[in-house]
Amino acid sequence: MDNRPVLFIDSGIGGLPYCIDFKNKNPNEKVCYLADNQNFPYGPREKDELTSILITLTEKVLKSINPKIIVLACNTATISALAALRHRYPQIPFVGTVPALKPAAKTTSSGKVGVLGTARTIGEIRSLGLVDETCDIHGIAAPELVDFVENHFEKADEKEKKEIVKKYMDIFRHEGVDSVVLGCTHFLFLQDVFHKEGANPDYTPQIEVFDSLKGITKRIEFLLDENEGYLRAANDSAWIHQLYITLKDQHFSFWKERANTLRFNLYLLNEI
């Protein structure tokens, strides 16, 4: 048995749905979440810069948190730094998050798949080799949608959420896209809105929406179950899940509220 935690990393709240989904399905496992709010957002950063940031973070968490698995709960971080992190730290399993292009490509009737993500993710979609060249990919970089989720989602009403989602879905419809991939973990907060808008009977084509949530949880579980489950944790009811941030800024009250809602303890990474 291995009672070390599984650690999820993102620049903000985007990776929380992945963390929560895994935690709910694996109640015996210890979970930590790291919001690198000091470096939010990851999307505009150059590949080398972001890789350096994540290497520095990994050095810190290996010493202070000592996770048994690290999940890059961010598409941009995965595309930029996953290979470098695996090469530098071969002793620890890393799980990356990439857009769910394969199921979207299998489902499309038009042959046109839309991807919504950061500029880095959209720019490197083809290099991931997730689909063959016959798939017509229509990518949209949406940094303002990341900002909306991070800074305005909780205060926004349903009309505001619908309007911002509809803006992107209308672009995809105009292009004849019938499968859309949410290629940024932040967008999972608007998952229900995307599904409703995609299935809106007033518009054609109707659009099926895909994300990588279930696939990431299954991948972590696969690693935990390898070698007769040697990484699986024993039941430890005394454990309290932990949320870390890298900067105690004007949004500290926001993170304190998130931690309380999730029943996580909140820590400043740079102080442990």
Give catalytic residues, as residue numbers: 74, 184
- Pick from 149, 197, 128: which is nearest to 43 by CA? 149
Q: Look up residue 81 and give its two tokens.
A: 């730094």
Q: Look up residue 195 and give its two tokens.
A: 């599904």
Cβ–Cβ under 8 Å, residues 111 and 175? no
User: Residue type for 122, please?
Assistant: I
Cis ω on the peptide bond leading into residue 5 (within 30° of 0)? no
DSSP 69-118: EEEE--HHHHHHHHHHHHHH-TTS-EE-----HHHHHHH-SSSEEEEEE-
The Cα 246–Cα 169 span in angstroms is: 34
